[in-house]
Structure 1
Amino acid sequence: MKKIILILLSFMLVLSTVACTNNSNKSSATGQNKNTSTNVTESGTSNSSTGDKSNSNGSASAKTNEGSKKILIAYFSQTGTTKKAAERIQELTKGDIFEIKTATPYPEDYQKLADATKKEKDENARPKLATKVENMDDYDVIFVGYPIWWHTAPMAIDTFLESYNLSGKTIVPFCTSSSSDIKESMGAINTFGAKANILEGLTANNLNDIEPWLKKIGIIK
C-alpha cells in the first residue's frame, strides 16, 4: 500500500512540474509577442516621422523649382503681335497675364507712331501708364514682353520696370521685331533689373519657338 501511495505521489509531482513548465513557456512566448508588437509600433512611428521630414524636405525642394513659383507675364503690344506671344507663354506656363497700357495711346498711323516713339527715346521719357500690377510682391518670375522700337524697348517698359522693386525676382524678357534681336533692347531690363536674376530672352516672332525656349531656360519641363 505504501508503495502505491508513493507511486501516486510521484506521478502527481511529475504532472505538477510539467504544468508549471508549460505555463512558463506560454508566459515567455506572450512576452516576446508583446515586445515584437512594441518594436513594430516604434519602428512605424519612427518611419512615419522620417517620412514627414522627407515630405517636408520634398515640399521645400519643390518650391525652388520654377514650376512652383508664381509667374506674371507682363507685355506691351501696339499691333497685337507681342500680345500673341504673351498669350502663348501664358498658355504654357499657366501664369497670370497683364497688359502694360499707356495713359495716352500711341498713334495708329505708322509715321506718327515712329515720330512719337523716336521723340520719347531721344528725351529718355517715361510715359504714364494706365495699368498697374497691384500685387507685384506676390510674383517670383516676371516675363516682360514688348516690340522693339528704334533698336530698344518702348519707353513704357522703362516706366513699368521703374515702378516696382524687382530685387530677387527672376525676369524673363521676350520681344517681337522684324529686324532687331532682343540683345539690342536689353538696356532697360539690365538697368532696372540689376538686382534680379535675368534669364535668356527670346525674339518671339515665331510662336513655335516659345515652348522649346521655355524648356531651355527651365521654366517648364
Structure 2
Amino acid sequence: MTKILIVYYSRKGENYWNGGLKHIDKGNTERVAEFIQKAVGGDLFEVDTVKPYSESYMTCIEEAKQELRSKARPEIKAYPDNFEDYDTIFVGYPNWWGTMPMCMFTLLEKYDLTGKTIIPFCTNEGSGMGGSERDLKNLCKGATVKSGLSVHGAESAQSESKVAAWAKKSI
C-alpha cells in the first residue's frame, strides 16, 4: 500500500490576487494540499520558516528573490516525522521567481529520495510551474518526479474537482 505525504509551503495574509493585493486567511497552496488529502488520503505537513517572511507581499517577494539569487537555504521549524516511510510525496508551493520557495529546497535536500515518487503542485497568478519541475528533478536524485499541477491561486478555492482528478491520476 502506498504511503502518501503532502508537504507544502503556503502564504497566508497579503497575497497577489488577480493583479492586485488581497488578504487571505488560508493560503492558496494549503487549500490545494487539503483537496489532495481529501481525494487520495495521506498525511499533511506544512513547512514553516524560522524567520518569517514580511507581512507585506511586495517585500516578501523581494526577500524570496534575494534567497533565490544567493541560493539560500532558510532554516525551517520542523521536519516531517518518519519521512523515510513515505513512498509518494506531493510537494506544494507558490511559484516564486520561477521555482519553489527556497525553504522547500531546505526540506528536500535533507533526505535521500531514491525510489520515492515526487508529485509537484504549485499555485501562481499566471506563471505556471515555471522551472520548478526541472529543479525538482535535479534536487530529487533517484526519485521519479511526475508532471505537476499548476493552479491559479485566485481560483484555488474553486479547484477541488480539478485537483482531485489530477491527484487520483498521479498516484
TM tier, smaller: 0.7 to 0.9
Q: How much identity, in percent, do the aligned residues show?
A: 42
User: Aligned runs of 1:52-201 on 2, under 5 Å?
Assistant: 68-79=1-12, 80-201=27-148
Structure 2 gap ranges (5+): 13-26, 153-158
Contact 2:4–2:42 (CA under 8 A) maintained in structure 1: yes
Residues 86-128 of structure 1: per-residue CA shift (max 9 Å, x gap): 0010111110000011111111102211211111011010000
In the comparison of the two structures, how many residue pairs are matched? 151
Structure 1 gap ranges (5+): 1-67
CA distance in 2, matches of 1:120, 1:102: 13
SS at match of 2:131: helix
Alignment-derived partner of residue 215 in structure 1: 168
CA distance in 2, matches of 1:93, 1:165: 24
User: Aligned runs of 1:3-14 on 2, under 5 Å?
Assistant: none
Contact 1:153–1:186 (CA under 8 A) maintained in structure 2: no
Alpha-carbon RMSD across the aligned residues, in angstroms, is 1.3
The amino acid of 1:215's aligned partner reads K
The structure whose residues are more often strand, as a share, is: 2
Contact 1:157–1:188 (CA under 8 A) maintained in structure 2: no
Q: What TM-score do the two structures reach when normalised by structure 1? A: 0.65
Q: Which runs of 4+ in 1 moved over 4 A?
A: none
Structure of greater Rg:
1
1:194: how far off? 2.3
Residues 151-198 of structure 1: per-residue CA shift (max 9 Å, x gap): 111111111110111110010000000111115322431112121011
Contact 1:152–1:187 (CA under 8 A) maintained in structure 2: no
Q: What TM-score do the two structures reach when normalised by structure 2? A: 0.84
CA distance in 1, matches of 2:106, 2:124: 21
The amino acid of 1:165's aligned partner reads D
CA distance in 2, matches of 1:96, 1:116: 30
**Which range is displaced more, 140-149 or 179-188?**
179-188
CA distance in 2, matches of 1:216, 1:183: 22
The amino acid of 1:110's aligned partner reads Y
